[in-house]
């Protein structure tokens, strides 16, 4: 009965996607990321100058609007190069290739470089909301995107293998009028990582852009049992 109730309310969708994304992808690639970045840095010593940003920056737009080409999302983001590939035999596929792309993020006074990509399961959530057979509307998609973020954050927080190798960037899209919205979101996170080595004076608060979402703002009620609890969306 509980399984049927959960299935009818679609509470298992994002929960399962987050675990699949972690087990089938992030847990494989993140522990190898630092080595790939170090190899690239040795070959290109003047590119990845800020070690604090040597992480995979994972974009999580709550609209689930994912671009295949980041340059089309924001012209201030340009493809730079691919990191070294990881090749594994997985689920019957010989020599399955995993790799990340470095991008250049244009700031007003400098260029930043980082590994950045979308969380691909969001494409599934978006596709489900466009397919009548899924019975999955826009509001369902928003709730599931928030649940996906919170679940993934909890999973990664408890993962020793992935510690210090990622940065989740969850945000609300600002609309088509903001042509460089995405690059500003990424730049804010890059600057914050660069400045994390400095002690913030007691009582001071770091500025958060209005569209970047913190854990507190996405304080969804995630169950500690096998099934998620009903979502609470009063913060949006």
- Banded pLDDT at 203 (limits 50, 70, 90): very low
- Banded model confidence at residue 198, pLDDT cuts 50, 70, 90: low
How many beta carbons lie within 10 A of that of residue 6, not counting itself? 19
Q: Which CATH number fits domain 8-199: 3.40.50.720, 3.90.950.20, 3.40.50.12100, 3.40.190.10?
A: 3.40.50.12100
pLDDT in tens, 96-141: 899 999 999 999 888 999 999 999 999 999 988 887 766 677 788 8
Per DSSP bridges, beta strands 101-106 and 111-118 are antiparallel
Average predicted confidence (pLDDT) for the chain: 81
Domain boundaries, the chain: 8-199
Lowest mean pLDDT among 72-76, 93-97, 129-133: 129-133
Residue 137: what pLDDT? 74
C-beta separation of 161 from 31 below 8 A: yes
Report which DSSP code applies to 134. Answer: G
Position with higher pLDDT, 160 vs 211: 160
Place of tokens 């201030």: 76
Report the pLDDT value the prediction gives residue 174, as an integer from 0 to 100.
Answer: 62
List the 111-118 sheet strands across, edge first.
Answer: 77-82, 101-106, 111-118, 56-61, 166-171
If one counts every other C-beta atom within 10 angstroms of the C-beta of residue 150, the result is: 22
User: What pLDDT, on a 0 to 100 scale, did the predictor assign at position 166?
Assistant: 97
Of 152-156, 167-171, 213-217, the poorest mean pLDDT is in 213-217
Using the predicted structure, report yes or no on whether residue 162 has a pLDDT greater than 80: yes
Q: How confident is the model at residue 70 (pLDDT cuts 50, 70, 90)?
A: very high
Decide if pLDDT at 179 tops 50. yes
């Amino acid at each position: 009965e509980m399984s049927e109730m959960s299935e009818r309310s679609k509470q298992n969708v994002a929960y399962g996607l987050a675990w699949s994304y972690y087990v089938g992808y992030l847990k494989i690639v993140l522990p190898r990321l630092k080595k790939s970045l170090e190899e690239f840095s040795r070959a290109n010593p003047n590119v990845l100058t800020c070690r604090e940003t040597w992480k995979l920056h994972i974009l999580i737009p709550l609209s689930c609007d994912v671009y295949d080409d980041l340059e089309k999302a924001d012209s201030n983001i340009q493809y730079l190069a691919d990191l070294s590939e990881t090749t594994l035999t997985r689920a019957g596929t010989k020599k399955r290739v995993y790799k990340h792309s470095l991008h250049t993020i244009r700031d007003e006074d400098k260029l930043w470089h980082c590994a950045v990509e979308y969380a691909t399961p969001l494409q599934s959530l978006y596709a489900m909301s466009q397919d009548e057979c899924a019975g999955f509307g826009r509001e369902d998609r928003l709730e599931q995107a928030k649940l996906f973020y919170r679940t993934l954050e909890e999973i990664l927080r408890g993962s020793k293998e992935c510690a210090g190798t990622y940065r989740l960037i969850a945000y609300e899209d600002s609309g088509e009028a903001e042509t460089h919205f995405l690059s500003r979101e990424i730049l804010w996170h890059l600057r914050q990582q660069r400045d994390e080595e400095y002690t913030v004076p007691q009582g001071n608060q770091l500025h958060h852009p209005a569209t970047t979402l913190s854990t507190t703002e996405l304080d969804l009620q995630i169950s500690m049992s096998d099934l998620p609890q009903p979502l609470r969306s009063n913060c949006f």
